[in-house]
Amino acid sequence: METDSLSGQPPATPPPGGELAPARADAPAARRPRPPEKDFRVANQPAFVLHSYPYKETSLIVDVFSRDHGRIALVAKGAKRPHSKLRGVLQTFQPLSLGWSGKSEVRTLTSAEWLGGLLPLEKAALLCGFYLNELLIKFVARDDPHRALFDHYVEALNRLAHEETAAIVLRRFELALLKETGFAGDIGIDAQNRAPVQPENWYVVDPERGARPARTADTSPKVSGKTLLDMQRGDYTDAATQTQSKFLMRYLLAHHLGGVPLNTRQILLDLMQL
C-alpha cells in the first residue's frame, strides 16, 4: 500500500488507508477535555505517531500517543524540509523516543529517535493499524495518560505484524480501549444483581450500565454469557464468540461515538464484501 513519506500514512484520497481526519468535536474524547499541563520539558518518552498534517510551509502538527503522558499534539518545526532528519523518523506504527517542551495545547517537538523492535505492518494489517489509530484519536482525550492502553496498543501492533488473526486482535483492543477510557466496565458481571454472568444465559450489554439478562423486546445485540466470559478472558477461539463479539463491539463503539462513523471500519467492511 502506498504511503506518505512524511507521516507513513496513505494518500489523502482512497485507496484504503486514507489520511485520518482530526478528531471531531462530537467524538467521545472531546467530551472529556483536560487542561494542558504546566510548562515543562519531557525527554526520552516512548511514543507512536497517530496522525500528522501540514502546519505552515515547512512544519507538521503531529498527534502522538505516549506511554506516560497520553495523547499529545506536537509541532514538528521544519519537518517538511527536504533535508530534515524528522522526515524519516515521524512514521506511524514505529516505536519512537520523543522529547517536547511547552505549556500550550500544542507543544514543541524537541527530539525524535527511532527505537525499532517492531516489524512493519503490511497489506490488510496496515489498514487495521490505521483503524487502531483512529480509535485512539476518537476515544482518548488529550493529556490523559493511559499506560495500560499504551501496552495494549503495542501488543496489538506486534500481533498484527506477525499476521495473527486480525479480527481477534481488533476485538481485544476495542474492549481494552473502552475499559481503559471508562466507557465499559466488567462485562462478566450482571449489572442488575452484581453476580457473575452465567455461560448458558443470554444477555444484552447496555452501553451505560453493563450486561443484563436479554428480553424478547431487545433490539440490541444478544450475546451468550459464555461469549462475555470469553471476551473478559481474551479467549476468542470459539467461532460463536468471534461472531457475537464483533456485533457487540460494533454496537458499543457506535453508541459512544454518537453515530459518528469510523472511516477505517467502513473501508474494512467494504473490503470484506469484495
5-19, 175-189, 219-233: the lowest-pLDDT one: 5-19
DSSP tag of 17: S
Predicted confidence at residue 170, as pLDDT, reads 96
Predicted confidence at residue 24, as pLDDT, reads 44
Predicted confidence at residue 18, as pLDDT, reads 39
Cα 8 to Cα 32, 90, 108, 145: the distances in Å are 29, 8, 20, 24
* pLDDT above 90 (res 266): no
Report how far residue 86's alpha carbon sits from residue 108's, in angstroms, rounded to the nearest whole number.
13
Report how far residue 144's alpha carbon sits from residue 172's, in angstroms, rounded to the nearest whole number.
21
* pLDDT mean across residues, the chain: 87
Q: Provide mean pLDDT across the span 3-14.
A: 42
Cβ atoms of residues 161 and 50 within 8 Å: no
Predicted confidence at residue 36, as pLDDT, reads 54
CATH number assigned to the domain covering 124-272: 1.20.1440.120
Q: Provide mean pLDDT across the span 200-227.
A: 96
Residue 265 pLDDT class (50, 70, 90 cuts) = confident
How many CB atoms lie under 10 A from the CB of residue 238? 14
Amino acid at 82: P
Residue 35 pLDDT class (50, 70, 90 cuts) = low
* pLDDT above 50 (res 21): no
- Under DSSP, is residue 211 helix (H, G, I), strand (E, B) or coil? strand
Q: Provide mean pLDDT across the span 30-36.
A: 53
DSSP 59-73: EEEEEEEETTTEEEE
Read off the pLDDT of residues 61-99 as tens digits, 9 standing for 90 and up. Answer: 999 999 999 999 999 999 999 889 898 899 999 999 999
Domain limits, the chain: 124-272
Predicted confidence at residue 83, as pLDDT, reads 87
Chain-centroid distance, C-alpha 266:
15
Q: Provide mean pLDDT across the span 149-170.
A: 97
Predicted confidence at residue 7, as pLDDT, reads 43
Q: Provide mean pLDDT across the span 188-203.
A: 96
DSSP 45-57: EEEEEEEEEEETT
Cβ atoms of residues 94 and 114 within 8 Å: yes
Kindly give the residue spans of alpha helices, DSSP state H, lying in the chain.
Answer: 124-139, 147-161, 166-180, 225-233, 239-256, 263-272
For 110, the enclosing helix (H) or strand (E) is strand 106-114
